Amino acid sequence: AAAEYEPLLVPRLRVSVTGGDGAAAAFATQHALNECFVCEACPARPLDLEISVDGGPWRQWRSSGALISTQRGASAWMQNAWSVREQQAAAVLQAAAELGGGGGGVGGGGVGGGGGVGGGGVSLAEVVTAANGQLLQHADPTAMQFFVRDAMPRPGSSPHAPTSGLGAPHGLARRIQMRLLGWDSALSVDGLPMVSLPAHECIVSLEIERDERLWLRTVRSIGRCL
């Protein structure tokens, strides 16, 4: 029996750089299938940046780096960076049980009485899988997922950022702009070698490529024909 296939278009993430005293001239627009990562050139220093999501207000953060992924990349690096671990889920559920007076605790592969969550027989692994599905899975191939790692709000002196009302450092977006502050930064596309980005407020812009001619063309199996 021969395999049966159908064509598949895979969106790509478009990455461009402007400003930064000539950084744009040295950086050609690139495309990522999975993700783009921005960090400090020296890993001993934190990354200071401002982020604007979908044209919204600029928010300042100090972090260990910013990760932006396609829908495809959400099951790769983004999953490892953002997903909930069983130990974390167990600690949260244990605290909830104690504060709520349930006293069920965590044990026997489950949470609560009877080896499950609230005595319902649901295992901790099932809870974690469901939680990560809510955090990481989405149906829109034209949306990106972003995550500012180890984020600390950094209200500061920049006139571009508010000093209150800072947004969450994780979510979905159609367009992201990052203004890099402080020292020299670096950018990696799909795990390729880092590209240096000078300081002086260079801006990295990311969005799903609108021109489908630049998407990856591949095929997927849909079964076998007899």
Q: Band the pLDDT of 156: cuts 50, 70, 90.
A: low
121 vs 127: CA distance, rounded Å:
11
Query: pLDDT averaged over the chain?
Result: 79
CA distances from 99 to 102, 115, 223 (A): 8, 19, 51
CA distances from 44 to 63, 138, 204, 223 (A): 11, 34, 22, 50
Q: Band the pLDDT of 206: cuts 50, 70, 90.
A: very high
**77 contact partners, CB below 8 Å, separation of at least 6:** 34, 35, 37, 67, 69, 191
Give me the mean pLDDT over the 133-160 stretch: 76
Task: Please write the tens of the pLDDT for every residue from 78-113.
Answer: 887 878 888 888 888 888 888 877 655 555 444 444
94 vs 76: CA distance, rounded Å:
29
Question: Could you give the percent of the chain with pLDDT greater than 70?
Answer: 77
Please state the length of the chain.
Answer: 226
Tell me which amino acid residue 191 is. Answer: G
Q: Give the residue among 47, 84, 93 at the shortest CA–CA distance from 187.
A: 47
**68 contact partners, CB below 8 Å, separation of at least 6:** 13, 35, 36, 37, 144, 145, 146, 147, 176, 206
Global pTM value: 0.77
DSSP H or E run through 14: strand 13-18
Task: Please write the tens of the pLDDT for every residue from 25-56.
Answer: 567 789 999 999 999 988 888 988 899 999 99
Angle formed by the axes of helices 86-99 and 124-136, nearest 10° = 110
Tell me which amino acid residue 125 is. Answer: A
39 vs 44: CA distance, rounded Å:
11
Residue 56 burial (CB count, 10 A): 12
- Residue-level pLDDT at 33: 92
CA distances from 204 to 21, 35, 42, 139, 201 (A): 13, 14, 18, 25, 10
Residue 197 burial (CB count, 10 A): 21
Asked whether residue 224 carries a pLDDT value surpassing 50, the answer given is: yes
